[in-house]
Amino acid sequence: MEDEKIVELYLERSEEAIKYTSEKYGNKLRHISFRITRDAQTAEECENDTYMEVWKRIPPNEPRNYFFQFLSRIARNISINRCIERNRLKRSAYIVEFTTEMEQCIPSPDDADRRIENEEIGRIISAFLHGLPKEKRLLFMQRYYFLDSISSIAKRFGYSESKVKTTLFRVRNDLRQYLIKEGYTL
């Protein structure tokens, strides 16, 4: 079923919307969640939570032309929050690895004179990424949106792990410099 029709079902408050969403995107959503939670059962729970959340958000949202992106974001956030809620953030070395890398992007308060709110972050990071060469942009997204491991990214793109690490290190620094230059602090 086309995305537009599925969204219409949500707007009509037809529970068939969830059925069609699951049929079309369930596997991908579990995949997204599994990457983050590293647990199949939790990934299934996050998938179900995603459907509930989508049900709540449509309406007022009407993501006819970006339905999967809409689902993907919700699934990702639910999965990351699940890790945090269950204290996996402290137990899971790989999540600590991501957050540590992200810390490197955050300018200190002394470096910037403007504080940005959560809602703006996506827009600012998008502006930064649009200015990058495609290769760097894709590596950043694989690592920090999809939470892929260095080795998985290296294999996926046919790069050495060293190249992936070096490229990401430089992009994180570039992001930090971008935020400083634009006068932001987080």
Partner 1 sequence: MRGKDLLNNISNVDDDLLAEAEASMIVSKKRHNWRKWIAVAACFFIVASVGTGAWRMGLFDDKGDNHSGNNSDSSSVAHSDEYRVRTDAVNLPENISDNVKADMIGCLVYKGKVYRQAASYDSSDSGFELVKKIVGEYVGDARGTLDDWSSQSDFATEFASTYYGPVYNVKGYSEDFRLYILVENGDKSWIQFLENYDDIGLNTGADFFGERMHLKNNVESISYLTYYDWNEDNPSNYKPLTSVSIEQFGGFLDELYNNPFERIDYKDHPDFYEGKIQGHLYLKMKDGTCVGLRLIEGGYVGYEHLGWIEVKMPGELFDLLLSAVQ
180 binding partner 1? (CB under 8 A): no
Instruction: Name the helix (H) or strand (E) containing 185.
Output: strand 184-185
**String of contacts with partner 1 for each residue 129-158, x by CB under 8 A:** xx---x--xx--xx-xxx----xx--xxxx
Determine if the peptide bond prior to 133 is cis (ω within 30°): no
87 binding partner 1? (CB under 8 A): no
Whose tokens are 């294999």? That residue is 155
Give pairs for 143-147: CB < 8 Å, separation 24+.
143/98, 143/101, 143/168, 144/98, 144/101, 144/102, 145/76, 146/32, 146/35, 147/35, 147/36, 147/98
Torsion of CA 50, 51, 54, 58, to 10 degrees: 180
Task: Write out the binding residues for partner 1, residues 36-65 only, by CB under 8 A.
Answer: none
Task: Write out the binding residues for partner 1, residues 9-38 only, by CB under 8 A.
Answer: 23-24, 26-27, 31, 34
Which residue's CB is nearer to partner 1, number 57 or number 137? Answer: 137
Smallest gap, in angstroms, from Cβ of residue 10 to partner 1? 18
Smallest gap, in angstroms, from Cβ of residue 147 to partner 1? 8
Which residue's CB is nearer to partner 1, number 56 or number 155? Answer: 155
Distance between CA atoms of 72 and 33, rounded to whole angstroms?
9
Smallest gap, in angstroms, from Cβ of residue 76 to partner 1? 5
82 binding partner 1? (CB under 8 A): no
Q: Among 13, 91, 123, 181, which residue sits at the site for partner 1 (rule: CB under 8 A)?
A: 123
Q: Could you list the residues that contact partner 1 (CB under 8 A)?
A: 1-2, 23-24, 26-27, 31, 34, 66, 68-69, 72-73, 76-77, 80-81, 84, 89, 95, 98-103, 105-106, 118-119, 121-123, 125-126, 129-130, 134, 137-138, 141-142, 144-146, 151-152, 155-158, 186
